[in-house]
Amino acid sequence: MMRGPKPSLCSEVTMQRRSGSFPLALAASLLAAAACKQSTPEKSSATAAASLPDKIVIGATLPLTGAEARIGGFYKEGYELAFEEAMKAGGILVGGKRIPVTLQLLDDTTTQATAVSLADRLINVDKVNFLLGTYSTALVQAQSSAAEQNRIPYVNGGGAATAIYQQGYKWIFGLLAPVELLADAIMRWLDIQQKSGKLPKPSIVAVVWENTSHGKDFRNGVSEFAKSHPGDYQVVLDEAFELNAKDFSALINAVKAAKADVLLVDAHLPDYITMQRQYVTEGMCNKVLSYGARGSEKQAADALGQKNVNYVLSAVWWNSQLGSKGLNKHFVDIFRAKYNRQPEWYQALGYETARSLFTAIEQADSVDREAVRAKLASMEIESILPGGKLRFPAEKGQQAHNPFVVQQNMPDGSAPIVYPPDVANAAGVAPRPDCKG
Amino acid sequence: MARGLELLLSAVLLAGLYAMMAYGLGLIYGVLRIVNLNHGGMIMVGAYLGWYLHERAGIDPYLSLPIAAVVGFATGVVIYGGLVRYLPRGPAGGVQSLLLLFGVWLVLRNVAYLQFTGNDQAIRTDYSTKAVVVLGSALSLNRLIVFALAALLLVALDLLLTRTYLGKAIRAVAQNADSCRVAGIDVERIYTFTFGFGTALATMAGLLLGTLFPFNPTFGAGELLKSFVIVVLGGLGSVLGTAVAALILAIVEVFAILLLPAYLTGAVGFVLLVLVLIFRPGGLFGQRVLG
Amino acid sequence: MSTWRQFIPEWLSPAVLAVFVAAAAVLHALPYVVALSPYDHNQLTLAFLFIATALAWNWIGGFAGQISFGHAAMFGVGGFAAARALQMQVAPFWVPWLLGGLVAGAYGLAWGHPTLRLRGPYFSIATIGVGEATRLVLTYWQGFTGGASGLALPINAQLKYSLYWYALYFLALVAIASYAIRNSRLGLGLLSIKSDVEAAADVGVPVVFCQDLVLFLSGAVVGVAGGIYASYFSFIEPSDMFGFDRSISFVLMAVIGGVGTVFGPGLGAVVFVLLRQFLIASYPQLYLGLYGLLLVLVVLFEPLGISGLIFRVARRLRPHRGAT
């Protein structure tokens, strides 16, 4: 399946002019370049299916420094765990042989331009076979164009915005369910509380979101749910804030004035900590409080004190409490054996992303990019993700839509799952009992 | 109405901190005619210093203030003596000093990055989330302490500048360095001292800011710009001018929430800066020199 | 020899012309003659863009002496305007770039006209404010920038490949403009404004017009670069386009190469890009500090950066020439 540049009049013209005089060359090449839609970039030829490589190299960048360094580091743990597991078995099974697989990981410093340059480098200089994704929507979005242009499978567990998957890309696969579903999961739990009379009807809702696509999607999820349940929820405050803002007092004051029953926030960890600290200091207490995907982090409990994170709801893509049997238990066990602590959703997604790519390669029984892509597109495997199955549905732009799990912080330090009912190990508490008046 | 009072109290507390933050910048510009772009860098250093001492040695951040002052002063003296001294003074040196100090800031940022990683840090003490009820609204204990400390420092500063010989010398040099030289004042020493002093103020302000907000190596940029707004608004030098300007900025920022969506309140400071620069570069008090 | 010299305007040095033509020819032919990997091809495209922006920044920062720490504002405005036009499929594709440039230039003029009155550090500080305010407000204005999620453009692999030549000729035009401005009456006027604005006004230099014009041109060029950048990445977002780091990069490139010299900033841009390339894979955390160090060294020892070093060496080699 070798491919070369398409022969055309254009390339002949431009080749001829190479030795000509400068101004003519200028005019001709500009014309040629402009008129010439045929000229194609040098295509890295897909490896012939016939011969097996002696190793498989998978490239990836992660934000190991920069704003997302903490989470980048977690994803790295997940990736490395998956690679280690594969290598324990000798490698990936292709064509009856175990081929060693290695990870070529670079630091994209949480910068879009760097992420794209490094992806370009991995593909065209290091000549990796496949790509695993980076973390954070903007970086994944930028890198996905590079992957799509170079026609190389790009499997990521770090980009949740639906916008990435609505561009008709064929080579991009996402494991992270959209953030709208995150908001939706929380709203559904609220709905259950409302139906059993624990929350007023209509419930006054204030939604505050970081000004990123993550935050926007969260807010859309909330407002969509409220719209489809008219009369049950009244959104009185809908405000955006800048990522990594220092001072939320203006915002907190607005929330206070709104006198909401439910406060829904979408924020990253540092903003969660800052905002919650100011929230508590102001003596605020809403019936239900959620910080979107944040809430149960140990770092937050340490920074704020357990008392100040009680009853906070959060919804995540995976939770170690799902790990009672099967694949999940296996993952939790090997993670704890290697890192000596409990995994969170970041490492789980990293691990599962790599594992799904390995599976696709084995299913395709080759390292041919198109073959692996096809297997990813039609994949349906057992997974550690909630719901138990992993697929990349074409109708959703090849973005997995596994459900979220909602958890709630309890005073004893635990954070049981409260939704969906089939995996819940507690009903959850609403309204929170520790508000004074 | 209660909301208005709450916002006002918020603004007043914020203003104290802003004033202290801005003063160091104003001092250096007033005397040396140099815009210290490293102001943000030293604020960041102050925050990390407080955090480090609290984490490793368990020292309460407010008790680390003297340490921050000393470290800041020493750093300022080194920066002046080793780098700034060699720049041409006056308009020709203006651009050069901007770039030089900016370079120093970048280096400091990188050093902090390598030492502490880019993750956000916060100084958390036992009383971080305690609040005091004043006039019906809950005010963060931290903010009250910071306000009190800032106010004290500013008063001390004012006394220094007006009552001591050193203060007089500084003001004299600010007005006319050449005639001071002729009069026998060691201008270079005054410059060194002032630069160190301004840097110390920035470092202390950084420490106080660190007790209120989370920070990382990029901390200080926003604070730098706010300091500019205050310095330009308040004119240079008078503590009163700085305090009033800080109050104005704080009030505008805090009350902007009533008019603007929360997200845009961050832009208020910058827009104010540009407007003030365009319409009243001499500041509200029309002063350009210390005095 | 003197006959063909007649065809070249007197302000144009034949040596410079020869070097320029040779360089353009070599760079134009490079991808055909040398088998460049797509990665190198792309990196060169970006390098051309950076060099062009550094040269343009220098018009206001170096020629006029007004250091701008907020040029990312125009870069972003131009980039997003071009991206919107590209999304609406305004054809041919270089029209959106021009559009972006015009919008950016106009924006520069809008905030520049009142602030250029300020001298020295006051202007620079104002530019920091403009840069940050632009970033915040435009990130909020979703209709224009798509908010924090940014704008995605349809992928066009053939276009990305030929961007090399578009960027190259864009750079050529900017280089010609740089040289022309410097050697024209405008350049002379700017020089006099830089030295002593009051004296310049006294002598009859139209200070406001000159500064406004130069800021407009500088902003427009940077805006076009933003548009080409958008086409290159097929995706742009506000924090990258309007970020303070982006503004800083323009300043750094020009200072390292030689603020105020004609082509110095171009050299600075090359160094900047090479340094990034070198560090990006192994020590990505060091480049900020290194730039800072370079800045300090340049200011203290060689205010004209690399150009200054070259001049020194040239003086050494040709002791009979007069002062540059």
B263: in domain: yes
CB contacts of A303 in chain B (<8 Å) are: 122, 124
The Cα C279–Cα C271 span in angstroms is 12
Q: Residue C45 and residue A300: Cα distance in Å, rounded?
A: 45
Asked which of A266-275, B82-91, B207-216 is least confident by mean pLDDT, the reply is: B82-91
**What pLDDT score does A289 carry?**
94
Q: Please give the pLDDT value at position B43.
A: 96
Q: Cβ separation of B263 and C120 shorter than 8 Å?
A: no
How do the pLDDT tens digits run along chain A, 437 residues long?
334 444 433 233 333 333 333 333 333 344 443 333 333 443 444 444 456 888 999 999 999 887 788 899 999 999 999 999 999 999 999 988 999 999 999 999 888 888 998 999 999 999 999 999 999 888 998 899 889 989 999 999 999 988 889 888 999 999 999 999 999 999 999 999 999 988 888 999 999 998 888 888 899 999 999 999 988 999 999 988 877 676 787 788 888 888 899 999 998 888 888 889 888 888 888 999 999 988 888 878 887 888 889 999 999 999 988 878 889 999 999 999 999 998 999 999 999 999 999 999 999 999 999 999 999 999 999 999 998 899 999 999 999 999 999 999 999 888 899 998 888 888 888 888 888 64
Kindly state whether A66 is in contact with chain B, defined as any CB-CB distance less than 8 angstroms.
yes
Residue A437: CB atoms within 10 Å: 3
In this complex, do A22 and C25 lie within 8 Å of one another by their Cβ atoms? yes
ipTM attached to this prediction: 0.82
Q: In the CATH scheme, what is the code of domain A179-316+404-419?
A: 3.40.50.2300
From chain B, pick out residues whose CB is under 8 angstroms from the CB of A70.
Answer: 119
B181 lies in some domain: yes
Interface contact B262-A241, CB threshold 8 A: yes
A54 interfaces chain C, CB cutoff of 8 Å: no
Chains with 3 or more CB pairs closer than 8 angstroms to C? A, B
CATH number 2.40.128 given to C12-317: no
Could you give the CA distance from residue B160 to residue B138 in angstroms, rounded to a whole number?
35
Q: Under an 8 A CB cutoff, do B261 and A67 touch?
A: no
- Do the chains contact at B118 and A66, CB–CB below 8 Å? yes
Q: What confidence tier does C321 reach under pLDDT thresholds 50, 70, 90?
A: low
Query: Is there a contact between B110 and C296 if contact means CB atoms under 8 Å apart?
Result: no
Tokens linked to A356? 């799904």
Mean pLDDT of C180-193: 90
Pair of tokens at residue A235: 């959104």
Chain A residue with CA closest to B122: the answer is A303
* CATH number for the domain whose boundaries are A9-177+323-396: 3.40.50.2300
Residue B59: other Cβ atoms inside 10 A: 14
Question: Structure pTM?
Answer: 0.84
Owning domain of residue B238 = 2-279
Measured between CA atoms, the residue of chain B closest to residue C197 is B91
A-chain CB neighbours of C284 within 8 Å are 65, 107, 109, 114
The answer to whether the beta carbons of residues B185 and B203 sit under 8 Å apart is no
Query: For position B92, what pLDDT does the model report?
Result: 56
Would you state the structure tokens that stand for residue C9, as one six-digit string?
A: 């305007």
List of chain A residues whose C-beta atoms are within 8 Å of the C-beta of residue B263: 211, 239-242
The answer to whether residue B285 sits within a structural domain is no
CATH number at residue B181: 1.10.3470
B105-to-B38, B108, C57 alpha-carbon distances in Å: 5, 5, 22
Predicted confidence at residue C2, as pLDDT, reads 58
CB spacing of A245 vs B266 below 8 angstroms? yes
Mean predicted confidence (pLDDT) in B216-241: 81
Query: Cβ of C270 under 8 Å from any chain B Cβ?
Result: no
C160/A contact by beta carbon, under 8 A? yes
Give yes or no for B66 touching A (CB within 8 A): no
Residue A33 vs residues A8, A38, B237, C308: alpha-carbon distances, Å: 12, 9, 62, 38
Taking CB atoms and an 8 Å limit, are A118 and C237 in contact across chains? no
Could you tell me if residue B286 is inside a domain?
A: no
Q: Is B130 on the interface with A (CB under 8 A)?
A: yes
b or e along A207-220 (b: 16 or more beta carbons within 10 Å of the residue's beta carbon)? Answer: bbbbbbbbbbbbbb
Cis check for the bond before C92: say yes or no (omega within 30 of 0): yes
Q: Which residue has the higher pLDDT, A20 or C1?
A: C1
Query: Does B262 have pLDDT greater than 70?
Result: no
Flag whether residue C34 sits within 8 Å of chain A, measured between CB atoms.
Answer: no
**Which H/E stretch holds residue A407?**
strand A405-408
Nearest CA in chain C to B114: C285
Distances (CA, A) of B185 to B89, B172, C185, C280: 18, 9, 46, 51
Q: Which residue has the higher pLDDT, C281 or C96?
A: C96
Return the DSSP state at A125: T
Alpha-carbon distance C195 to C193, whole Å? 5
CATH 3.40.50.2300: which residues of chain A? Answer: 9-177+323-396, 179-316+404-419
- pLDDT (mean) for C263-286: 84
Query: CA nearest B274 in C: which residue?
Result: C126
pLDDT at B91: 57
Task: Say which residue, A29 or C278, is predicted with more confidence.
Answer: C278
Rounded-to-integer distance, Cα B189 and Cα B195, Å = 10
Measured CA distances, A344 to A183, A321, A416 (Å): 19, 10, 14
As a whole number, mean pLDDT of residues C240-254 equals 90
What residue has token string 């016939």? A50
pLDDT for position A35: 37
Yes or no, beta carbons of C67 and B99 under 8 Å apart: yes
Neighbouring CB atoms inside 10 A of B158's CB total 17
Residue C239 C-alpha, separation from nearest chain A C-alpha, in angstroms: 9
Q: What is the DSSP string of C41-67?
A: HHHHHHHHHHHHHHHHHHIIIIIS---
- Highest mean pLDDT pick, A430-434, B5-9, C147-151: A430-434
- Using alpha carbons, select from C190, C218, C169 the residue that is nearest to residue C63: C190
Indicate the burial class of C29 (C-beta count within 10 angstroms; 0-12, 13-18, 19 or more): middle
B96–C299 CB contact, under 8 Å? yes
| B19-33, C4-18, C224-238, C244-258: the lowest-pLDDT one | C4-18
| The two three-digit tokens of residue A278, written as one number | 């100011």
How many domains does chain B contain in total? 1
H-state helical runs in A305-344: 326-339
Residue C77's pLDDT is what? 96
Residues 6+ apart with CB under 8 A from C269: C47, C50, C51, C53, C54, C55, C253, C257
Angstrom CA distances, C298 to B79, B101, B103, C295, stand at 16, 12, 10, 5
**pLDDT 10s digits, B145-201:** 889 998 898 888 888 888 898 888 888 888 888 888 888 888 889 999 999 999 999
Q: Do B270 and C136 touch (CB under 8 A)?
A: yes
Given CB atoms, is B256 within the 8 Å cutoff of chain A?
yes
C115/B266 touch (CB, cutoff 8 Å), yes or no: no
Q: What is the pLDDT of residue B283?
A: 57
Contacts of A142 in chain C (CB under 8 A): 233, 235, 237
DSSP per-residue string spanning B202-265: HHHHHHHHHHHS-B-TTTTHHHHHHHHHHHHHH-SS-HHHHHHHHHHHHHHHHHHHHHS-GGGH
Which residues of chain B neighbour C112 with C-beta distances below 8 Å? none
